Chains A and B, each alone.
Chain A
């Protein structure tokens, strides 16, 4: 963390995006996390992605559970409404918020303890329902705020800083998300911003439940030899299946690709995801194959990253339950109250 206050004045020459904001306008309070924390890199990637996507900051609602990761929404998008909810229950609060107003962009930030341990149920059910949101898991395999206990994503056999060996099988959130029906599933690494920013951009544009499991090493409690979530370990075992270029619907596609290496996916909102294949055998539109692919590589000790699955035609919960286009929180008595005449009819039917 830094104790240096950020200057409030911005340099006049800072570049502005199409909606008139500089990158600094997407920042929040100064982080209180440890220096070198992977989570801070993720916050920076969120800031970058939102700025690049020309999202007005106040149109984003950012929700989190409890833990180091869940503190981070205070450190980006300072003009957005944020909600630090209870441990493991961000998904339900976000679902309710999203039901109330379908017009905002919903960003859920959680950690591995918050999502895979205490919150596994809500994580799974949110995917099932197809809530239109971006769900970032800042995954470091350890409880930071309570000083170093294993979380449910810690690999079997990995060692804690205090020397204990984890004997429980790990939960792979990517596989779980695929299984539970998430329609955009990716894995990233906080140390690879070039990969992460486009993953977040495409996830924000995705109309449905988008999950990114982001390996985000804990510098204080899980960055030692014997950990499988350390910077070194993740770098050594990272197997990126693709490189992603994301183009919002209005942007012209500028990148050039070699023959046979491109997968192009047009999403529901008109945006285009261009994937540069790094593994020629990988098809990110095949959900069943994605699950086994991730597991096969995990068995070899490889950590598959990149855009693992996307259903470009995904629908969201509001579509499924047929709610009106207008945000429910804007409806007044005129639209909601059936009035006394209707009530009189109901009374008559009850006699």
Chain B
């Protein structure tokens, strides 16, 4: 029988039961490989549940550093009887099935084209431990031990990780090490060697291993956010929780012990965005983190902030919709909902981070953009980036960097007789000056309202005032083009007829797919969009190719629609390639979809007007 052979390039998938303590054990497995200098990309595939339902953890070991989801499974660690059949089916032919053989499983439920590694884990645990919780937790460590033996993972790395985790808790440390070696010993004595191996390399470099939600929260700390108002919603809750964690360490006044931040868990998303807007109106940098259903609730307020021109940052960790939809699955399905959030003629700035590094960068930048443009700014991340730990460039910060507080008129300027019109365009960029409440006893005060106003913020329902305001807002949106991050081009090695556009979490799978396509002789110029409004270069890029594939993780081709609407792109030149089953897009999917389309597009009829 064929045996999958691979060094530092395979996928191990763990099938577990939620709440069994498997997540931390599996993370240990991933980290140990990282510590051996080999990149990994883990993904948690979890249910909307606390205990009992199936959960999976997929670890891609990738010396090449391909951090997207590959697709396929080389080794299944099947620890959940509920999902056994499905898990066994998923293994690639020649792959490996590791399972708990304490209870016999009928032969009919195995496959003949895979290699089976049977280990009586429950029996081993019951023989060794008497406490029920210990039996459960150490079972996880024992199977990790067996896997280190099978895959040649250095146990010293795991022991080091235990040492960091259980610093000062010697007893716990000792019993974990013991469980690890119990597993190793069993595997050494009883299991046949396999052909998947981890070998020490130096491919990780100075990269860090972090989830996008923590990175976004840290970006908000560095970007100077002082007010965070939020409402718990998967998969965004850990943004606010990480902000709390980081600010407790980094934002406490050293002498008084008081906080240079305020975090409010609001009663709902209506209140959280209201607080963000109130704080923004009053000159504090503020943000909220939410997901699609939260954005839906916030849209009335977002419209007010757009017209009243109040800075606000909304970190949208996207998931499947609707409210009772796929809360623990990833999608890029809020693009249109956010770009046009609210009633009336509104358009919003969107940023699309590709990984934790950009979550950090763009969250900090969003706070600058929101104040410079005096408008809501969305950071459009998703569950795949937000809730999975990803190998990422280390965070950087230039200590000379100043916050861009935008056009704020000071007391001195008002005293000097500056003409203050809250909604007046004084220098052609469409951005007016604002004042913070309480600035000046007699000047600069104004009444904030939606769109019934003139340039001096006086109540007006006059058509001409409304038209002036809308045209200025359009100019402001034009100005935004010059401020938001530029797209990033990955040019093909040879001149290419075809191009691809992609954004956000599709990035790692896309880069891998581009390599795979190039190996097949298919050369594609790829452009990663990082923001809306779209710069003019994007339309030029599209116009210079015969066809442009637009890779999206949603059903409706939402970015494609936005490109047609907002960049004046010919719809016929765009070919959407859509992945929307809730799992992260894979390189295999992209490669296959593009290769298929390219081969069709390259077909030439033998004679005119005849199909080949």
A340 at the B interface (CB under 8 A): yes
State which of A86-94, A159-167, A254-262, A271-279 sits at the interface with chain B: A86-94
**CB pair A82 B278 closer than 8 Å:** no
Q: Would A122 and B274 be within 8 Å (CB), given that A324-B253, A347-B395 are in contact? A: yes
* Of A82, A321, A337, the contact of B448 (CB 8 Å cutoff): A82
B439 at the A interface (CB under 8 A): yes
B79 at the A interface (CB under 8 A): no
For the complex, give the distance between the alpha carbons of A338 and B224 in Å.
9
B412 at the A interface (CB under 8 A): no
Q: Which residue of B lies closest to A338 (CB)?
A: B250
- The interface residues of chain A lying within 8 Å CB-to-CB of B222 are 337-338, 343
- The interface residues of chain B lying within 8 Å CB-to-CB of A342 are 250
A95 at the B interface (CB under 8 A): yes
State which of B60-68, B97-105, B396-404 sits at the interface with chain A: B396-404
A112 at the B interface (CB under 8 A): no
For the complex, give the distance between the alpha carbons of A85 and B282 in Å.
13
**CB pair A324 B447 closer than 8 Å:** no
> Interface range on chain B: under 10, 10 to 19, 20 to 34, or 35 or more?
35 or more
**CB pair B210 A350 closer than 8 Å:** yes
Q: Would A324 and B258 be within 8 Å (CB), given that A83-B281, A86-B304, A333-B401 are in contact? A: yes
- The interface residues of chain A lying within 8 Å CB-to-CB of B259 are 321-324
* Of B253, B257, B275, B439, the contact of A96 (CB 8 Å cutoff): B275
- The interface residues of chain A lying within 8 Å CB-to-CB of B227 are 96, 99-100, 328
A213 at the B interface (CB under 8 A): no
**CB pair A125 B226 closer than 8 Å:** no
Q: Which residue of A lies closest to B229 (CB)?
A: A96
B421 at the A interface (CB under 8 A): no
Considering only residues 247-276 of chain B, those with a C-beta below 8 Å from chain A are: 250-251, 253, 256-264, 266-268, 270-276
For the complex, give the distance between the alpha carbons of A97 and B281 in Å.
7
**CB pair A86 B301 closer than 8 Å:** yes
* Of A56, A94, A318, A331, the contact of B226 (CB 8 Å cutoff): A331
B436 at the A interface (CB under 8 A): yes
Q: Would A321 and B278 be within 8 Å (CB), given that A58-B440, A338-B250 are in contact? A: no
B431 at the A interface (CB under 8 A): no
Q: Which residue of B lies closest to A124 (CB)?
A: B267
Considering only residues 41-56 of chain A, those with a C-beta below 8 Å from chain B are: 56
- Which of A74, A125, A328: most chain B Cβ within 10 A? A328
- Which of B207, B251, B253, B284: most chain A Cβ within 10 A? B284
- The interface residues of chain B lying within 8 Å CB-to-CB of A297 are none
Q: Which residue of A lies closest to B218 (CB)?
A: A346
A339 at the B interface (CB under 8 A): yes
Q: Which residue of A lies closest to B222 (CB)?
A: A337
**CB pair A97 B282 closer than 8 Å:** yes
Q: Would A103 and B209 be within 8 Å (CB), given that A84-B447, A336-B224, A340-B398 are in contact? A: no
Q: Would A347 and B264 be within 8 Å (CB), given that A96-B274, A336-B224 are in contact? A: no
- The interface residues of chain B lying within 8 Å CB-to-CB of A208 are none
**CB pair B226 A321 closer than 8 Å:** no
A249 at the B interface (CB under 8 A): no
Q: How far is the CB of B555 from chain A (nearest CB, A)?
A: 31
* Of B209, B224, B262, B282, the contact of A323 (CB 8 Å cutoff): B262
Q: Which residue of B lies closest to A332 (CB)?
A: B403
**CB pair B394 A347 closer than 8 Å:** yes
Tell me what chain A mostly uses at the interface: helix, strand, loop, or mixed: helix
For the complex, give the distance between the alpha carbons of A61 and B283 in Å.
13
- The interface residues of chain B lying within 8 Å CB-to-CB of A323 are 258-262
Considering only residues 433-452 of chain B, those with a C-beta below 8 Å from chain A are: 435-442, 445-450
**CB pair B447 A92 closer than 8 Å:** no
For the complex, give the distance between the alpha carbons of A94 and B304 in Å.
15
**CB pair A100 B224 closer than 8 Å:** no
A10 at the B interface (CB under 8 A): no
Considering only residues 195-236 of chain B, those with a C-beta below 8 Å from chain A are: 204, 206-210, 218, 221-222, 224, 226-227, 229
**CB pair B301 A100 closer than 8 Å:** no
Q: Would A100 and B278 be within 8 Å (CB), given that A95-B264, A321-B262, A343-B222 are in contact? A: yes
- The interface residues of chain B lying within 8 Å CB-to-CB of A89 are 270-271, 274, 301
Q: How far is the CB of B593 from chain A (nearest CB, A)?
A: 34
Q: Which residue of A lies closest to B283 (CB)?
A: A329
**CB pair A100 B449 closer than 8 Å:** no
For the complex, give the distance between the alpha carbons of A56 and B264 in Å.
29
Q: How far is the CB of B450 from chain A (nearest CB, A)?
A: 8
**CB pair B274 A61 closer than 8 Å:** no
Number of residues of chain A lying within 8 A (CB) of chain B: 59
Binary B-proximity of A242-278 (CB < 8 A = 1, otherwise 0):
0000000000000000000000000000000000000
B73 at the A interface (CB under 8 A): no
- The interface residues of chain B lying within 8 Å CB-to-CB of A321 are 259, 262-264
Q: How far is the CB of B385 from chain A (nearest CB, A)?
A: 15
**CB pair B401 A104 closer than 8 Å:** no
**CB pair B274 A322 closer than 8 Å:** no
Q: How far is the CB of A235 from chain B (nearest CB, A)?
A: 33
Binary B-proximity of A309-351 (CB < 8 A = 1, otherwise 0):
0000000001001111100110111011111101100110011
- The interface residues of chain B lying within 8 Å CB-to-CB of A78 are 445
Q: Which residue of B lies closest to A103 (CB)?
A: B438
Q: How far is the CB of B595 from chain A (nearest CB, A)?
A: 37
Considering only residues 64-83 of chain A, those with a C-beta below 8 Å from chain B are: 73-74, 78-83
**CB pair A92 B266 closer than 8 Å:** yes
Q: Would A86 and B300 be within 8 Å (CB), given that A58-B438, A61-B437, A96-B274 are in contact? A: yes
**CB pair B253 A333 closer than 8 Å:** no
For the complex, give the distance between the alpha carbons of A347 and B392 in Å.
10
For the complex, give the distance between the alpha carbons of A95 and B395 in Å.
33
**CB pair A336 B226 closer than 8 Å:** yes
Q: Which residue of B lies closest to A19 (CB)?
A: B441
- The interface residues of chain A lying within 8 Å CB-to-CB of B270 are 89, 92, 121-122
A224 at the B interface (CB under 8 A): no
Q: How far is the CB of A234 from chain B (nearest CB, A)?
A: 30
**CB pair B447 A74 closer than 8 Å:** yes
For the complex, give the distance between the alpha carbons of A47 and B237 in Å.
44
- The interface residues of chain B lying within 8 Å CB-to-CB of A336 are 221, 224, 226, 251, 260, 403
**CB pair A58 B260 closer than 8 Å:** no
Q: How far is the CB of B490 from chain A (nearest CB, A)?
A: 26
A59 at the B interface (CB under 8 A): yes
Known contacts A83-B449, A101-B436, A323-B262, then 18 further A-B pairs from the complex at CB < 8 Å, ordered by chain A residue: A58-B442, A59-B438, A73-B447, A81-B438, A82-B445, A89-B271, A89-B301, A92-B273, A93-B274, A93-B281, A98-B278, A99-B286, A321-B264, A328-B260, A336-B251, A337-B222, A338-B251, A343-B222
Between-chain CB contacts (< 8 Å), 24 pairs: A58-B438, A61-B438, A79-B442, A83-B278, A83-B448, A83-B449, A84-B449, A85-B274, A89-B271, A92-B266, A92-B271, A97-B281, A100-B282, A100-B284, A104-B282, A321-B263, A331-B226, A331-B260, A336-B221, A336-B224, A337-B221, A337-B397, A338-B251, A340-B397
Interface residues of A (CB under 8 A from B): 29, 56-59, 61, 63, 73-74, 78-86, 89, 91-101, 103-104, 121-122, 125, 129, 318, 321-325, 328-329, 331-333, 335-340, 342-343, 346-347, 350-351
Interface residues of B (CB under 8 A from A): 204, 206-210, 218, 221-222, 224, 226-227, 229, 250-251, 253, 256-264, 266-268, 270-284, 286, 300-301, 304, 308, 394-399, 401-403, 435-442, 445-450, 459
Closest 6 CB pairs of A and B: A96-B278, A92-B274, A100-B284, A81-B437, A96-B275, A329-B283
